[in-house]
Amino acid sequence: MGKGSNVQKAQAARERNQKKMGKSDEERKAAAQKAAKDSTAFMCSVCRQTFMVNVKLTLLHGHAVAKHPDKTPATCFTALVGFDPNAPAGAAAAAPAAVVKPKKKKKEEVDLSSLLDAGLSVGKKKGKK
Ligand SMILES: [Zn+2]
């Protein structure tokens, strides 16, 4: 919601700073260099394919296994040294899925209708007597 305005504010502040400091070209160059560095943060040392800085290790591991089955994953990416594909960091991320929402509401509804049924049958019996 407020993200858009924050971005606008940040951009406005950046523009102000650039005017003040008069280093926009240098800053832009540095930002471009950082972006280029980030986009090639991981490079396969076997086939030179590059990966973004925020790539998941499981993806790098998958590349190594799929493209270079004759090499060890750590040979392709130094980041994979000590990486265990059977216990990736993603295991922790999968935990929230185990949280089950309580189904109290539905149970109450069922209880209510069964109570109603019981009441109705009791009422009928009473009426019969
Ligand atoms: Zn590769």
* pLDDT value at 127 more than 60: no
Rounded CA separation 99/89 (Å): 19
Q: How far is the CA of 93 from the centre of ligand 1 (A)?
A: 26
Pure H helices in the chain? 3-21, 24-39, 57-67, 73-76, 90-94, 104-128
> What does the pLDDT look like over 1-56, one tens digit per residue?
555 678 888 888 877 766 666 678 999 999 999 999 999 999 999 999 999 999 99
Q: How far is the CA of 52 from the centre of ligand 1 (A)?
A: 14
> What does the pLDDT look like over 66-89, one tens digit per residue?
999 999 999 999 999 999 888 755
| 77 contacts: CB under 8 Å, gap ≥ 6 | 42, 43, 44, 45, 60, 64
pLDDT score, position 92: 47
Q: How is residue 110 written in tokens? A: 């069922």
Q: How far is the CA of 78 from the centre of ligand 1 (A)?
A: 12
Q: How far is the CA of 42 from the centre of ligand 1 (A)?
A: 11
Q: How far is the CA of 37 from the centre of ligand 1 (A)?
A: 18
Q: Is 80 helix (H, G, I), strand (E, B) or coil?
A: helix
pLDDT score, position 106: 58
Q: What is the Cα gyration radius of the chain? A: 30
pLDDT score, position 24: 84
pLDDT score, position 13: 82
C-beta of residue 80 within 8 angstroms of C-beta of residue 57: yes
> What does the pLDDT look like over 92-117, one tens digit per residue?
444 444 455 656 555 556 666 666 67
Q: How far is the CA of 62 from the centre of ligand 1 (A)?
A: 10
